[in-house]
């Protein structure tokens, strides 16, 4: 848990922030002070005869020019930080970010995939380039401690992805939020950025891949549930999340709603397949109809169904 400033953008952003803040505070104190002064000095009792002042051209020119100069400074300082945020260094390390309702996935060059619970692990003092891909609606990749935010926008085929980058200067764990409203579990679409020292990162990078390959070999279905984000809404231990739990699901009798009509079904392979490919068709009663269709191959669907069967034995 940490929102302390920790990236190369912080100095620029915070300088602009505090510059504007101090100028604003001076203005606000002047405005408030003048109002209070006037109420006391020029109230009806103290000043029964008002002056007949209509205007003063000199004064009006001054208070047009001074704010103009100040806001141009605000623009300039904001621009400087922004240009830095938009110019990605050549040698940056690329990690692909995928977002969906309501999960994150981070994919590394060697095929290593990390989910929301595992977080985004990066080396310290290294620029990290993040192409941002959404599988459904607009999300927003936001790490307050790094002053980084960019919307993750679903794009039509062939369009360029949004991107952002950062370079953290401090080892630690930082909050990663979804900042664009994306429905029911928007507030749970959280993850972490783990900044490791360069040697720790190298060690982690190799070992995490080994762990991933092992678990894929053991149960490819289980690995898919994690990497495709299913576990954000479906538990494997019987606890009720947004969707039904996988535990004991296979062979269970369920009341489902199809187009407003309720009927009972037995969960079998065909039903599971349909629920994955066309999630909006039959909705288990008392659950919201919100599961997005996921781009899975037929093999992957079978692997997931196999795993769900295992969980029901």
| d(C-alpha 58, C-alpha 243), whole Å | 68
Closest CA to 128 of 79, 80, 160, 176: 176
Closest CA to 162 of 197, 138, 146: 138
Contact 64, 139 (CB under 8 A): no
Distances (CA, A) of 157 to 98, 137, 161, 296: 16, 15, 10, 17
Task: Tell me which of 107, 126, 169, 188 binds another protein, using CB under 8 A.
Answer: 188
Q: Which stretch binds another protein (CB under 8 A): 117-125, 187-195, 222-230, 297-305?
A: 187-195
Q: How near is the Cβ of 67 to another protein at its closest, in Å?
A: 4
Q: How near is the Cβ of 17 to another protein at its closest, in Å?
A: 5
Q: Which is nearer to another protein, 7 or 212 (CB)?
A: 7
Q: Which is nearer to another protein, 104 or 250 (CB)?
A: 104
For the segment 63-122, give every residue that binds another protein (CB under 8 A): 63-64, 67-68, 71-72, 74-75, 77-82, 84-86
The number of residues that bind another protein (CB under 8 A) is: 91
**137 touching another protein, by CB under 8 A:** yes
Contact 95, 130 (CB under 8 A): yes
Q: Which stretch binds another protein (CB under 8 A): 179-187, 196-204, 209-217, 248-256?
A: 179-187
Q: Looking at the DSSP assignment, which residues form a beta bridge with residue 93?
A: 128
Q: How near is the Cβ of 200 to another protein at its closest, in Å?
A: 25
Q: How near is the Cβ of 216 to another protein at its closest, in Å?
A: 29
Neighbours of 237 (CB within 10 A): 8
Q: Which stretch binds another protein (CB under 8 A): 90-98, 177-185, 195-203, 230-238?
A: 177-185
**138 touching another protein, by CB under 8 A:** yes
Task: Tell me which of 89, 109, 155, 211 binds another protein, using CB under 8 A.
Answer: 155
What lies within 8 Å, CB to CB, of 310 at 6+ separation is: 219, 221
Q: Which is nearer to another protein, 81 or 229 (CB)?
A: 81
For the segment 7-26, give every residue that binds another protein (CB under 8 A): 9, 12-13, 16-17, 20-21, 24
Q: Looking at the DSSP assignment, which residues form a beta bridge with residue 194?
A: 121, 173
Closest CA to 291 of 147, 110, 102: 102
Task: Tell me which of 90, 156, 239, 313 binds another protein, using CB under 8 A.
Answer: 156
**305 touching another protein, by CB under 8 A:** no
Q: Which is nearer to another protein, 39 or 270 (CB)?
A: 39
Contacts of 110-116 with C-beta under 8 Å, sequence gap 24+, read 110/205, 110/209, 111/209, 112/205, 112/208, 112/209, 112/212, 113/212, 113/227, 114/208, 115/226, 115/227, 115/229, 115/231, 116/189, 116/190, 116/191, 116/229, 116/232
Count CA atoms closer than 13 A to 50's CA, side-chain side: 6
Task: Tell me which of 28, 109, 117, 211 binds another protein, using CB under 8 A.
Answer: 28
| d(C-alpha 127, C-alpha 90), whole Å | 9
Q: Which is nearer to another protein, 93 or 137 (CB)?
A: 137
| d(C-alpha 240, C-alpha 222), whole Å | 18
Task: Tell me which of 95, 99, 122, 150 binds another protein, using CB under 8 A.
Answer: 150
Contact 142, 156 (CB under 8 A): no
For the segment 205-264, give every residue that binds another protein (CB under 8 A): 259-260
Q: How near is the Cβ of 35 to another protein at its closest, in Å?
A: 6
Q: Write the binding mask 273 to 302 for another protein: x where contact by CB under 8 A, - elsewhere.
A: -------x-------xxx-x----------
């Amino acid at each position: 848990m940490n929102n302390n400033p920790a990236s190369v953008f912080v100095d620029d952003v915070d300088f602009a922030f505090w510059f504007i803040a101090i100028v604003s505070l001076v203005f606000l104190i002047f405005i408030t002070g003048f109002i209070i002064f006037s109420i006391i000095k020029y109230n009806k009792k103290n000043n029964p005869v008002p002056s007949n002042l209509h205007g003063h051209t000199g004064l009006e020119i001054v208070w047009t020019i001074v704010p103009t100069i100040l806001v141009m400074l605000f623009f300039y300082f904001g621009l400087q930080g922004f240009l830095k945020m938009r110019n990605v260094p050549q040698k940056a390390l690329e990690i692909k970010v995928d977002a969906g309702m309501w999960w994150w996935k981070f994919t590394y060059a060697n095929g290593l995939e990390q989910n929301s619970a595992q977080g985004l692990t990066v080396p310290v003092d290294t620029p990290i380039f993040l192409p941002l891909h959404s599988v459904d609606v607009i999300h927003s990749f936001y790490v307050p401690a790094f002053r980084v935010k960019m919307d993750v926008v679903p794009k039509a085929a062939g369009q360029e992805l949004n991107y952002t980058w950062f370079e953290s200067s401090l080892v630690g764990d930082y909050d990663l939020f979804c900042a664009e409203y994306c429905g029911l579990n928007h507030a749970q679409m959280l993850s972490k950025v783990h900044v490791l020292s360069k040697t720790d990162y190298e060690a982690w990078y190799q070992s995490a891949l080994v762990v991933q390959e092992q678990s894929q070999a053991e149960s490819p279905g289980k690995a898919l549930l994690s990497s495709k984000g299913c576990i954000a809404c479906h538990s494997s231990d019987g606890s009720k999340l947004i969707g039904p739990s996988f535990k004991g699901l296979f062979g269970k009798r369920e009341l489902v709603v199809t187009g407003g009509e309720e009927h009972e079904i037995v969960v079998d392979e065909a039903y599971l397949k349909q629920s994955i490919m066309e999630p909006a068709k039959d909705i288990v009663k008392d659950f919201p109809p919100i599961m997005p269709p996921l781009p899975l191959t037929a093999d992957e669907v079978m692997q997931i169904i196999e795993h769900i069967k295992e969980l029901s034995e």
